[in-house]
Structure 1
């Protein structure tokens, strides 16, 4: 199967161009499952500010970062090389901080301005997500605010999270199994993921091939997505694939270190739209039985991680 390029879609003049943008989003979601957003409303300076906030946390000593411990029941908090990836049989070579509005945050003393800046960033991500999801809702035959209600991050049962990620630099032994996989091949369980990257910190690769949200099929061709500060790389998650009766594709992706030479540190920021636990999930064609978002997460975690806790259901 040939490589599939990631379409670049502008959100400029969104309200007046909504029909055109919706067609572009649907075409990308049906064929690639990934697209890159520009003119989305978050400036490059704002993105760089959030990366600086992220790095200020990851630069802290481990004992200080550990004051915001990872909770397997909520999947919030700091984790270090703790995610065992079934697709590779090894632990992803990264550390991350998972956050929700109601979760424990790093203290102001340890990281001044962290919560204020990150909360503003989450609000901007929510606005962009609402726009994209409103297009998908209309195209699928739902009311335009259907996913906005289903995914309202201010509701207590919403599972949406911000994840700050740091992949430590690799050495010349990157080909060793334990060092190659910064993040092994996987799909995202949730609805829609917004990913922010930084210039020169490459490694993301995508792969088409899935026809069912519950299958593990993929092709052998992975396409590199160069890292660039500014554009947002967006991908469909398993939940939205199921919600669209498999029309919109949630495809595999991975992050790899360089096969030759050293790879520098890579920082990324992911905003996972994961919807409200109690909201009923079923596509317009009713291809699959109805279930709540919480039930879907529990089933997906059991299927994909063999009992590992990933997100509370």
Structure 2
């Protein structure tokens, strides 16, 4: 399986409707066959993305004391602030009640990463947790601006998906997404002995799907992201970094909206595939930085199969569910 590369410039700049339709259909085809696609020639400049990584590194270089001044709130309901190594455990399990024993077993292999989660400043249900301004001047203002720059591109991608799914209303999906329920995540995978990953004493990020509608991922040059081959379940292929490309993937909500026409594909972060990403006599993995941007419907939005994806031969597979209820099923197993 190969992850397609899509030049998005024609969607954003062409006035020719046939060009836009071609891009929309290529995007949907990639989301059908793989669930992942590299987006090149998009609207986010290389300079802005580089600056985002600059600020991410500066945040994770802060002392533990300063990072802990913006802690992830206790429990799963608020998904903002700093998560220290071992706090979060990614899994594919959806909560149905009291699964304390499952949670305990999951945490026997900890995820060796630290995280900082950011959302809209106007989302009262998910209040941001910022480090003190004097600890990192300029960080908050840049990240707030970057959050909304990502959303400008995100809206165009959702519009393209709607067109590619033959919806008459290009805004069908964007009306369910105000942008205020999205999530910008800064990720730092710590150096770890390669042997610990090989023998599964530690993990970076186990196989999972995203709870979002779609996810845009910016990654550094370290590598380690792997995508499940939809033609050979259980087999994963590397999603190697492509310069100036965004890795776009379908999330669970869009798979449900599309009645399984689009694939929310399992993916994971493991040891980098190239030897030059392992350093030193103890075979330490290089540290890795990535920045996913999760586009999520508003909490009260109802996810139900869209009309163009339902036929007599393919009736709706999913009962309608609100984003808030689906989020609870997934998030309560993570923290």
Q: Equivalents in 2 of 1:67, 1:8: separation in Å?
A: 41
Does 2:80 match 1:76?
A: yes
Q: Equivalents in 1 of 2:133, 2:9: separation in Å?
A: 36
Other-structure match for 1:206: 227
> Of residues 144, 147, 150 in structure 2, which corresponds to 1:122?
147
Shift in Å at residue 193 of structure 1? 0.4
Partner secondary structure for residue 35 of structure 1 = strand
Q: Equivalents in 1 of 2:68, 2:146: separation in Å?
A: 23
Q: TM-score, normalised by structure 1?
A: 0.86
Q: Equivalents in 2 of 1:84, 1:62: separation in Å?
A: 20
Shift in Å at residue 138 of structure 1? 2.4
Q: TM-score, normalised by structure 2?
A: 0.81
Shift in Å at residue 142 of structure 1? 5.6
Q: Equivalents in 2 of 1:25, 1:268: separation in Å?
A: 23
Does 2:190 match 1:165?
A: no
Shift in Å at residue 208 of structure 1? 3.2
Kindly indicate whether the alpha-carbon contact (under 8 Å) linking 1:98 and 1:164 is maintained by their aligned counterparts in 2: yes
Instruction: Specify every segment of 5 or more residues in structure 2 that has no aligned partner in the other structure, as ranges.
Output: 93-104, 122-127, 311-315
> Of residues 114, 129, 134 in structure 2, which corresponds to 1:104?
129
Other-structure match for 2:35: 33
Kindly indicate whether the alpha-carbon contact (under 8 Å) linking 2:271 and 2:285 is maintained by their aligned counterparts in 1: yes
Other-structure match for 1:150: 176
Question: CA-atom RMSD, angstroms?
Answer: 2.0
Other-structure match for 2:313: none
Kindly indicate whether the alpha-carbon contact (under 8 Å) linking 2:21 and 2:163 is maintained by their aligned counterparts in 1: no
After TM superposition, what 4+ stretches of structure 1 lie above 4 angstroms from structure 2? none
Count of residues in correspondence between the two structures = 289
Other-structure match for 2:160: 135
What is the 5 A alignment of 1:176-195?
Answer: 176-179=199-202, 181-195=203-217
Query: CA, structure 1 residues 144+279, in 2 after alignment: closer, same or farther (shift >3 Å)?
Result: same
Query: CA, structure 1 residues 149+126, in 2 after alignment: closer, same or farther (shift >3 Å)?
Result: same
Other-structure match for 2:300: 278
* Bigger Cα Rg: 2
Q: Equivalents in 2 of 1:19, 1:9: separation in Å?
A: 13
Query: CA, structure 1 residues 106+229, in 2 after alignment: closer, same or farther (shift >3 Å)?
Result: farther
Shift in Å at residue 121 of structure 1? 1.4
